[in-house]
A and B are shown apart, each in its own frame.
Chain A
Amino acid sequence: MAIDKLYNKKVTDYFLHPKNMGEIKNPSGVGRVGNPVCGDVMELYIKVGEKNGQEVITDAKFKTFGCGAAIASSSMMTEMIKGKTIKEALKISNLAVAEALGGLPTVKRHCSILAKEALEKAVASWQK
């Protein structure tokens, strides 16, 4: 790791200027995961609509309490799922999130796992 930054440029960028930060009013689904004991809590909001007869995530937003990697991971996840069908979105692995961020430090891998869990929970709440 470069000595001038704790995280790589991309993670730092998503931490400082996170995309899709905020809440969706009347969301189709919300997933809240994590707890203060581990230091990270993520809230993922999704809006699901129909497109060509398929259920598509038309909008996604997040709110996160946590470290830089947690904020960057949740933001990246919202970016990756937007426009995807539910089925496609659920296929995104935590590793894909970490890779899209140009890699995460080993001790921060759990942040990308948390982002995946947040999506799964949001989808589950929509399916109810």
Chain B
Amino acid sequence: MCPGFKKVGQMKVYLDYAATAPVKKEVLLAMEPYFKEKFGNASSIHFWGRQARSAIDQARATIANFFGSSSMEIIFTASGTEADNLAIMGVVLKSKIKKPHIITSAIEHHAVIKTCEFLEKRGMAEVTYIKPNREGIIEVAAIEKAIRTNTILVSIMYVNNEIGTVQPIREIGKMIEKVNRDRATNNRQRIYFHTDAVQAAEYQPMNVDFLHIDMLTISGHKIGTPKGIGALYVRKNTPLSSIIYGGEQEMGLRAGTENVPYIVGLGKAVDLIHKSKPKNEKIKKLRDYYIERITKEIPDVYLNGSQKSRTPNNANFYFKYIEGESIVLSLDLEGIACSTGSACTSQALEPSHVIMAVFDDHFRAAGSVRFSLGEETTKKDLDFAIGKLKKVIKRLRAISPYAKGK
């Protein structure tokens, strides 16, 4: 059943978990005392302060344990976006190279792309945006080829938020490590490797040594906390500058009074993932069922992204001859939530930069829709969505000038 609509008459199905997920009840419960009862400022030395500090320490230790890192390597931020900004700007600001070079991809989240564009425009960095292959995968060889003598940072997302492709993070990490070994023998500055793992935390391996990464971003509200909390893992000895100035919180890397209840919530959410049995198979089975029925029962539908290297909760389709917002809007009126990166929905009026980077096709960018499943998604939800979707696609194609005779 769908969160939030359990008692209302019209059936509603939420298939937009990649946008945000409901707060888990265990998380809310863990957070609760830290609003009124244990409300102290963690920087205070009195009892209330120590109580808050201890809660933060505990959350930090839990998250560090999840990453296989030490507590000192976890920086709490207000969002995944802020963590991405800190990783990229932080390394560039600290760099001794006059104009350092960053390698990222053309399918990154805007939190990474816009930050890189800003640095580029300001003349603070050179940036290479690697194009994905037709499967939506960033190839290790393409990154290796783009490395220059002034390259100091590689930032590649773990799981793409739109088309769900899982990037070869571990392979990229190993390749960079090899390059760094050569650089070390020549006394040259090493390359740091950052990954935005916002869409990955729930379903992918997250051990930072296994992945061979230096920095990793997570966001709370995708995994069951309220919106407004994120974290950046920063490997020891990674030269990083703060981008928010003030107090000495978060090892001097993120000023501002710690958001104690939200930090506690993030700790709990991570703990739940760490301790729960892997649910990849269950959700993947549901998702595969969804993909199979849609691609079989609706004509002229194409799956965007890789079949094989794909996060288990994502399905993204190109519905030929029609436009995405009209699909999302029609489904919304039927009680189904999904999303599109296409022209109209995002107020930006820009086609999905991800679909454009993969296919370079405006029709495909305009006509693609993402469905993302979550913990509470059932087969019944999907059957309901498929039924409505078939009706909606048929209706919109009847209106479209491109679907004549289809």
Contacts and interface: CB of A to CB of B under 8 A. Distances in A.
Physical interaction between A and B: yes
Interface of A: 6-7, 12, 15-16, 18, 21, 32, 35-43, 63-71, 107-108
A71 B323 CA distance: 11
Interface string B318-345: 0001110110011011000000001110
- Residue from A6, A35, A36, A37 whose CB has the most chain B CB atoms within 10 Å: A36
Interface string B342-355: 11100101010000
Contact of B342 (A15, A39, A63): A39
A107 B349 CA distance: 8
B363 A36 contact: yes
Given A38-B343, A39-B343, A107-B349, A71 B401 contact: no
Given A15-B329, A66-B323, A68-B329, A41 B349 contact: no
B398 A67 contact: no
Given A18-B399, A21-B399, A36-B362, A65 B329 contact: no
Contacts of B363: 36
A33 B399 CA distance: 15
A64 B400 contact: yes
B398 A21 contact: yes
A65 B332 contact: no
B321 A65 contact: yes
- Residue from B325, B347, B349 whose CB has the most chain A CB atoms within 10 Å: B325
Contacts of A32: 401
A37 B363 CA distance: 8
18 contacts: A15-B329, A32-B401, A36-B366, A37-B351, A37-B362, A38-B343, A39-B325, A39-B342, A39-B343, A39-B351, A40-B343, A41-B401, A64-B400, A65-B323, A66-B344, A68-B344, A107-B349, A108-B344
A73 to B, nearest CB: 12
Nearest to A75: B399
Interface residues of B, number: 23
A79 to B, nearest CB: 15
- Residue from A15, A39, A63 whose CB has the most chain B CB atoms within 10 Å: A39
A94 to B, nearest CB: 17
A32 B343 CA distance: 19
A67 B401 contact: no
B402 interface: yes
A65 B362 contact: no
A46 to B, nearest CB: 15
B159 to A, nearest CB: 26
- Residue from A43, A65, A70 whose CB has the most chain B CB atoms within 10 Å: A65
B333 to A, nearest CB: 7
A15 B347 CA distance: 19
Interface string B384-406: 00000000000000111110000
Contacts of A63: 399-401
A3 B323 CA distance: 23
Contacts of B349: 38-39, 107
Nearest to A18: B399
Contacts of B400: 63-65
A71 B343 contact: no
A14 to B, nearest CB: 11
Given A12-B333, A18-B399, A39-B344, A68 B362 contact: no
Contacts of B343: 38-40, 67
Contacts of B342: 39
A16 B398 CA distance: 12
B354 to A, nearest CB: 16
Contacts of B402: 41, 65
A49 B401 CA distance: 25
A38 B342 CA distance: 10
Contacts of B326: 15, 66-68, 70-71
A67 B329 contact: yes
